[in-house]
Structure 1
Amino acid sequence: MMNHVDIYTDGSCDTQTRRGAWVAILLINGEKVVLSGIAPDTTHNRMELAAVIAGITYIEKNFEDIQQLHIYTDSQYVTGLMLRRDKLIKTNFITSKGTLLRNADLIKKLYELETQIHLVFTKVKAHQKQGTAINYNIDADKLVRKLMRES
């Protein structure tokens, strides 16, 4: 019985065209599953969140016995959201200016998913050079850049 999966994520957005892409690489029982998507009229942070949510959702739909997901991301935004969870819920995702927090829809979805499975987040350095060990965040970054070029 498998009880945990590693997920490597990345997201990006062209600020001029507002077209974005995301990638999630899942390592499941020695198998590599790659998920990806493209979105119009988006932001970098939305794409980072979309990658994480897609990875978690895929596992929840296809592997009932998984108890923990280890998510590797280069996004300070995503890892910071996990630290701010209680505060954001307490304020009902309303900013100090009285407006709805950006990406509240995706943040709420992430928090909902977190109640269903144990999530561990690790912040990794972005845009690292490939060394001797396999670094799937580098792979995710390369795939996102390829999607951005092709879209």
Structure 2
Amino acid sequence: MDAVALFTDGSVNTQVKFGYGAYLAVSDPGLSVEELSKQVKVKRFAPTSSTKLELQTLLWALDDLQVLGRPLIVYTDSQNIIGLPARRDRLERNDYCSKKNTRLNNYELYQEFFRQIDQLDCELIKVQGHQASKHKNDIDRLFTLVDRASRNALREDARRSAL
């Protein structure tokens, strides 16, 4: 069974603590970038932060997609998401608390992330965000679709708010 490629990204306005997450699920690699750009989903999240938004977007996409039984490759520029599997043992051992014994921000999202990932045949791949077009490969070009969609949604929201 062919893998589903999932691209996720988010853009946040840190001053007012809201942002937009975007995802694109690709199960047919034969579609053109133009066709795929029409399949990008965008959602507003508030209150949020950049770290929280990346997790919220991935979890929303996983809930939306229902990809159980199919291999999944997640492409993200979020170092936090990429690093979570390596941090899992320590997070669970410390009951999602810091060295000062206070609950970590976003601990509930971390728990949900692990719950979801445990049910999936999932691989996480780090992509470089915001690079020059001449350095982009096909994966980077697809990632640009979600990067651009989330940034454009945030800009459009700011423009509407200014009216």
Larger Rg: 2
Q: Is the 8 A contact 1:70 1:122 kept in 2?
A: yes
Deviations along 1:76-110, one digit per CA (max 9) or x if unpaired, are 11111121111111111111111111111111111
Distance in 1, matches of 2:120 and 2:59, equals 12
The gaps in structure 1 that reach 5 residues or longer are: none
Superposed CA RMSD: 1.7
Q: Alignment identity in percent?
A: 27
Q: How many residues align?
A: 147
Do structure 1's residue 36 and structure 2's residue 35 form an aligned pair?
A: no
1 or 2, which has the higher helix percentage? Answer: 2
Q: When the two structures are superposed, what TM-score results if normalisation uses the length of structure 2?
A: 0.82
CA distance 1:108–1:14, change in 2 (3 Å): same
Q: Which residue does 1:71 correspond to in 2? A: 74
1:137 matches 2:140: no
In structure 2, the gaps of 5 or more residues are 158-163
Aligned partner letter, 2:49? T
Q: Is the 8 A contact 1:9 1:23 kept in 2?
A: yes
Structure 1 segments (4+ residues) deviating >6 Å: none
Would the aligned equivalents of 2:75 and 2:124 in 1 still touch at CA under 8 Å?
A: yes
Answer whether contact 1:3 1:65 (CA < 8 A) is retained.
no
Q: How does 1:73-88 map to 2 (within 5 A)?
A: 73-88=76-91
Task: State which of 89, 92, 96 in structure 1 corresponds to 2:95.
Answer: 92
| More deviation, 133-142/20-29 | 133-142
Counterpart CA distance in 1 for 2:123 and 2:117 is 10
Q: Which amino acid aligns with 2:107?
A: A
